[in-house]
A and B are shown apart, each in its own frame.
Chain A
Amino acid sequence: MGILSVRNVNKRFGGLKALDDVNLEVEAGTVHAIIGPNGAGKSTLLNCFVGRLEPDSGSVTFDGMSLLGIKPHEINQAGVSRVFQTPEIFGDLTLIENVMIPAFAARDGAFTLNAWGLVTTHGEIRARALAMLTDVGLADQAERPAGQLSRGDKRRLELAICLVQNPKLLLLDEPTAGMARADTNNAIELMKRIAGRGVTMVVIEHDMHVVFSLAEKITVLAQGAVIAEDKPEKIKGNHRVQEAYLGGAQL
C-alpha cells in the first residue's frame, strides 16, 4: 500500500460526474503525476486530498489516516503540504516572515498563544527559514514584501513555505502554469532537487515537458475516470491516452 491511497472515489456536481470510481496509489518517495485534458477532474481529485472537497463515496487515506471530513490545517499538520495553481503567499509580509510562519506551525502546532516572546528571539526558526530561502534562491530578498515578487519567484517562495515544514507529501497543482520557458526549466531543476531528497510528490500538470522530466509514474484521467496508469515511457505509447488526451496525435 502506498503512502497516499485513493479508493473508489466518486464525486458529482449536479448532473456532471466529476470523479468516476477513481483508484490511485502513490508510493512513498516517488513523484507521481496526474495528467489529463481540461475538465478531466484533476483539480477536483486534488481538492479531495486536502479537505477542500468531500467525495460522495470512497476513501482517501494518507499514511494510514483518513483525510476525509477533517480540516485543511489538520491535513497539513499530518504532513501534507500544497502548492496552488496561482501562488498563495502572504503578500503583505516579508519573505522571511512568509517562511517563518509555516516553520512555527510545524514546530508549535495549529494554535499556540505565543504573545509574549518576540519573533526575533526565535533564532532557530529564523535560521531554518533563511536556510530554506537560500535553498530556493531567494535569500537575498528576505526582507522584501512578498507581494512585490515576480510570478516565478512567488512560486519559489510558495515551495519554500511548503518545504520548510518537511512534509511527507507535497501536492503541486500546475506548478509551472503561466511561467516562461526559462523559469519552467528552473522550476523543474528545483523540483528534481526536492524529489532527490525523498519527498513524495503528486504533480498535476498540463506541460508534458515538465511531466516527463519529473514523474516516475503517471496517472491519466479523462472525464473523471482513470484511463491509464504506468511509467512515463509506457504512457507515451498508450493508444487510449493518445485518443483521450491528444486527440490521436503522436507524442
Chain B
Amino acid sequence: MRTLTLSRNDLILLAGYTLVVLGGPIIMAPLGAGYPDLLQKFVIFGIFAVGFNILFGLTGYLSFGHAAFLGIGSYTAVWSFKLLTMNPLPAIVLATLLGGLFAAVIGYICLRRTGIYFSILTLAFAQMSYNLAYSVLTPITNGETGLQLVQSDPRILDAAAGRDYGAVLPSSDLFGIPMNGYPGFYFCGVVSIVCFYLAIRIFRSPFGLMLRAIKSNQNRLNYTGLNTQPYALAAFVVSGMYAGLAGGLLAVVDPLAGAERMQWTASGEVVLMTILGGAGTLLGPVIGAGVIKYFENIFSAFNEGILMAAFDFLPEPIQHLMVNVTSLFVGEGWHLTLGALFMVIVIFLPGGLMEGFNRLSALVAGIVRGRRDGASARGA
C-alpha cells in the first residue's frame, strides 16, 4: 500500500493534529476553554473551515454561501434522528451526502461565473435557502421555532430494534454512549481527524495540484488541455460535503436545527476563519476556527465585574478608566476585538496566522544558524 504513505512532514502534521484534538480538554484548560461545549465547536467549525478552504484556499473561488450547506446538514441530521434512529452515524452520513448533493446543484449554476459574480451568486443562493427555510419550507424546517425532536417521532430503526426512549425526550447516542459532553466531543474529534487526513490527501494529490493551478492561472490551464469547470465543481462539492458533515455534527451534539445557521453572517464567519488562519494552508483554517470560536465564547463572557477584579491593583480612578475602555472590547463588544485582530492580520500578515508562525520559525531558525555559523567561524 505504497499509495497510502504521506510524506514525513505531513505525517508529523497529522500526528500533531491528532494529539491536540485528543488532548484538547487538557491543552485548552489553562485558556479557560477546556469544557466540552466549546471543544465541540472548535472541532466542528474546524471541519467546516477545512472543507471551505479546499474550495477557497486551493481554487480561489470565494463562496459567500457555504452556511447553506451547514444548515442543510443540520436539518438532515435532525430528520434522520426523527425518522430513522438516534444513532449519529446515519445522521452524519446523510448530512454529508445531502450537503454534497445541494452543492452539486448550486455549484453547477454558480460556477458559470467567476470572481465577484460567483461570490454574489453563492450569496444569493444561501439567502434564498435561508428565507425558504423560514417561510414556505416550514413543514420541513419548522420555521422560526426550529426543527426539534418530539417524543412521538417514529424512529423506525430504533423501533424495529425494540428501543423505547420512554417518556423522556431522546438524545443522540452512539450504541449507548451519549453524544453530549466529552463523548460527543471525542466523537466529533475523531471525525475531524479523519476529515483532516482526507484534506491532506486532497492537497497532495494531482487533483489538488489542478485546483491550485486554477487559482494561479486559469487561462493557462485551459490552454494546457484541462477542463477547469469540473475541477472547480468537484472542489465545490467536496467543500459542500464538509459543510454538510459539520452541520450534521452540530445536530448530533445538540439535536435541533434552526434557519439562522444558514444566514449570511454564518457564511461570512467561515470566510473570516479561513483568512484569519491562512487560506490555502492545511492547518490555518482550523486555527482560524479555533480563534474565532474562542473569542465568541470566552471574550463575550467577560463582564465589568471580571474587569474590575483584573484592574484591582490600579488606583480607583484609573481602574474605572481602564474598565470603561476595555469593556468596549469584551462582552457584547467581542466583535470589536475580532474586527481589530482581523484588520491587523490582513494588513500585516496577508497569509494569515500561519504566515506569522512561518515567519517566526524562519526567524528562530535564522538566529540558531547564525549562532552556529558564528561559533564555527570562531572555531576556525
Q: Spell out A's residues near B (CB within 8 Å).
A: 50, 71-73, 76-77, 81-82, 84, 88-93, 97, 100-102, 104-106, 108-122, 161, 165
Question: For the complex, is B175 an interface residue (Cβ under 8 Å from A)?
Answer: no
A106 to B219, CA, bound (A): 17
Assess whether B7 is in contact with A120, with CB atoms less than 8 Å apart: yes
A110 to B230, CA, bound (A): 9
Question: For the complex, is B222 an interface residue (Cβ under 8 Å from A)?
Answer: yes
Assess whether A72 is in contact with B205, with CB atoms less than 8 Å apart: no
- Which of B204, B216, B231 is close to A90, meaning CB atoms less than 8 Å apart? B216
- Using A72-B222, A97-B213, A117-B205 as known contacts, list a sample of 16 further A-B pairs with CB atoms less than 8 Å apart, ordered by residue number in A: A73-B225, A76-B223, A82-B223, A88-B220, A89-B217, A90-B212, A93-B209, A104-B209, A105-B224, A111-B231, A119-B209, A120-B7, A120-B204, A122-B206, A161-B220, A165-B224
Question: For the complex, is B226 an interface residue (Cβ under 8 Å from A)?
Answer: yes
Given the known inter-chain contacts A89-B217, A91-B216, A101-B213, please indicate yes or no for A113 contacting B207, CB distance below 8 A: yes
A52 to B228, CA, bound (A): 16
Determine the chain B residues whose CB is within 8 A of the CB of A114 once the complex forms: 205-207
Assess whether A71 is in contact with B222, with CB atoms less than 8 Å apart: yes
Residues B189-226 near A (CB distance < 8 A): 201-202, 204-210, 212-213, 215-217, 219-226
Interface string of B1-34 (1 = CB under 8 A from A): 0110111000000000000000000000000000
Assess whether B205 is in contact with A101, with CB atoms less than 8 Å apart: no
Question: For the complex, is B227 an interface residue (Cβ under 8 Å from A)?
Answer: yes
Assess whether B226 is in contact with A101, with CB atoms less than 8 Å apart: yes
Given the known inter-chain contacts A71-B227, A90-B213, A93-B212, please indicate yes or no for A118 contacting B205, CB distance below 8 A: yes
Least distance between B188 CB and chain A CB atoms (Å): 24
- Chain B residue at minimal CB-CB distance from A145: B216
A-B pairs with beta carbons under 8 Å apart, 8 shown: A73-B225, A73-B226, A91-B216, A101-B213, A104-B206, A106-B225, A111-B230, A114-B206
Assess whether B3 is in contact with A117, with CB atoms less than 8 Å apart: yes
Interface pairs A-B: 4 shortest CB-CB: A76-B225, A115-B207, A105-B225, A90-B216
Given the known inter-chain contacts A114-B206, A116-B201, please indicate yes or no for A88 contacting B217, CB distance below 8 A: yes
Least distance between A170 CB and chain B CB atoms (Å): 12
A87 to B201, CA, bound (A): 31
Assess whether B223 is in contact with A118, with CB atoms less than 8 Å apart: no
A118 to B222, CA, bound (A): 23
Interface string of B43-76 (1 = CB under 8 A from A): 0000000000000000000000000000000000
Determine the chain A residues whose CB is within 8 A of the CB of B3 once the complex forms: 116-118, 121
Determine the chain B residues whose CB is within 8 A of the CB of A100 once the complex forms: 209
Given the known inter-chain contacts A71-B227, A102-B225, A110-B225, please indicate yes or no for A119 contacting B204, CB distance below 8 A: yes
Assess whether B220 is in contact with A89, with CB atoms less than 8 Å apart: yes
- Which of B2, B209, B234 is close to A121, meaning CB atoms less than 8 Å apart? B2
A118 to B207, CA, bound (A): 9
- Chain A residue at minimal CB-CB distance from B235: A115
- Chain A residue at minimal CB-CB distance from B217: A90
Determine the chain A residues whose CB is within 8 A of the CB of B202 once the complex forms: 115
A116 to B206, CA, bound (A): 8
Given the known inter-chain contacts A111-B231, A119-B206, please indicate yes or no for A76 contacting B201, CB distance below 8 A: no
Least distance between A168 CB and chain B CB atoms (Å): 13
Interface string of B148-172 (1 = CB under 8 A from A): 0000000000000000000000000
Assess whether B201 is in contact with A93, with CB atoms less than 8 Å apart: no
Assess whether A50 is in contact with B207, with CB atoms less than 8 Å apart: no
Least distance between B80 CB and chain A CB atoms (Å): 27
Total A-B residue contacts, Cβ distance less than 8 Å: 111
A193 to B216, CA, bound (A): 30
- Chain B residue at minimal CB-CB distance from A82: B223
Least distance between B57 CB and chain A CB atoms (Å): 12
A165 to B215, CA, bound (A): 22
- Which of B7, B206, B223 is close to A112, meaning CB atoms less than 8 Å apart? B206
- Chain A residue at minimal CB-CB distance from B220: A88
A106 to B6, CA, bound (A): 26
Interface string of B288-331 (1 = CB under 8 A from A): 00000000000000000000000000000000000000000000
- Which of B216, B222, B231, B238 is close to A93, meaning CB atoms less than 8 Å apart? B216
Least distance between A107 CB and chain B CB atoms (Å): 10
- Chain A residue at minimal CB-CB distance from B10: A118
- Chain A residue at minimal CB-CB distance from B215: A92
Which of B5, B204, B219, B224 has the most CB atoms of chain A within a 10 A radius of its CB? B224
Assess whether B205 is in contact with A165, with CB atoms less than 8 Å apart: no
Determine the chain B residues whose CB is within 8 A of the CB of A110 once the complex forms: 225-227
- Chain B residue at minimal CB-CB distance from A93: B216
A101 to B217, CA, bound (A): 12
Least distance between A167 CB and chain B CB atoms (Å): 10
Determine the chain A residues whose CB is within 8 A of the CB of B224 once the complex forms: 73, 76, 81, 101-102, 105, 161, 165
Given the known inter-chain contacts A115-B208, A120-B7, please indicate yes or no for A93 contacting B213, CB distance below 8 A: yes
Determine the chain A residues whose CB is within 8 A of the CB of B201 once the complex forms: 115-116, 118
Determine the chain A residues whose CB is within 8 A of the CB of B231 once the complex forms: 111
Assess whether B216 is in contact with A92, with CB atoms less than 8 Å apart: yes
Determine the chain B residues whose CB is within 8 A of the CB of A90 once the complex forms: 212-213, 216-217, 220-221
Determine the chain A residues whose CB is within 8 A of the CB of B213 once the complex forms: 90, 93, 97, 101
Determine the chain B residues whose CB is within 8 A of the CB of A111 once the complex forms: 226-227, 230-231
Given the known inter-chain contacts A92-B212, A118-B6, please indicate yes or no for A77 contacting B225, CB distance below 8 A: yes
Determine the chain B residues whose CB is within 8 A of the CB of A161 once the complex forms: 220, 224
A91 to B215, CA, bound (A): 10
Determine the chain B residues whose CB is within 8 A of the CB of A50 once the complex forms: 223
Determine the chain A residues whose CB is within 8 A of the CB of B210 once the complex forms: 101, 104
Determine the chain A residues whose CB is within 8 A of the CB of B212 once the complex forms: 90, 92-93, 97
Least distance between B196 CB and chain A CB atoms (Å): 15
Least distance between B12 CB and chain A CB atoms (Å): 16
